[in-house]
Chain A
């Protein structure tokens, strides 16, 4: 079960799907690019996370008639988008607080 706060790989997977529906390979490449090569997921990690997110109803499989089994695309559901929004809000608040505290200490 996915709980807030999210782990970094799960957050990056959700962010990757926030822009557009993607299939597994595209998600891996996007996560790699977004994190600047810091987070490189294996297929095992990716599909474990996708399975949990599917089960929780945060993402769904995009029904494509012409897609092969290896090219299944996933997209964010309204629930997943809401949870992602909450998590990004939490992180924003944390960054704002962190920046404020660091600034106070420096001056």
Chain B
């Protein structure tokens, strides 16, 4: 039965085994020594209770660690409080600038006739520049998605599970 107990103990996550494995085994050995003094039916009940307790305990530990890992991944993607403050200040600045710009455009009459449309050759971005920008955005998006998925399933940068 000790061999079965050791096998069942392997169902637990490594961290739990490291902290409590030896203790659990030692306590089980003491209980097993006691069980030799009781009847066969009570001994059977003892073995069933221990086996069931280990399986249920291992499942509970895995579930707990899964929840803990999910929570820590979610926390990594959460912005710090300062970011929200800075973003609010920046947004307020942009809104105020737009409002100010509109007020100026209304108060000052147009001084020069309307300009003709800008030729593509003189635009802010050339065709090559625009293509590069699009490719860059797509690349960053794909990279971000891959990173998020790897973190979600618990794989770190070196490909090891943690």
Contact = CB atoms under 8 A, between A and B. Distances in A.
Interface of A: 23-25, 28, 40-48, 50-51, 68-72
- Give 3 closest A-B pairs by Cβ, nearest first: A70-B26, A42-B53, A44-B57
A85 B79 CA distance: 40
B26 A71 contact: yes
Interface of B is mostly: helix
Given A42-B49, A42-B52, A43-B31, A24 B24 contact: yes
Contacts of B24: 24, 43-44, 47
A89 to B, nearest CB: 29
A51 B19 contact: yes
Contact of B28 (A40, A43, A68, A71): A43
B22 A44 contact: no
B16 interface: yes
Contacts, number: 65
B26 A69 contact: yes
B14 to A, nearest CB: 14
B150 to A, nearest CB: 28
A72 B56 contact: no
Contacts of A42: 49-50, 52-54, 57
A40 B20 CA distance: 20
A41 B56 CA distance: 13
Contacts of B54: 42-44
Contacts of B60: 48
A51 B25 CA distance: 16
B20 A51 contact: yes
B33 to A, nearest CB: 10
5 contacts: A23-B27, A42-B52, A47-B24, A48-B60, A70-B22
Interface string B4-37: 0000000000001001101111111011000000
Contact of B20 (A25, A28, A41, A50): A50
Contacts of A72: 23
Contacts of B49: 40, 42
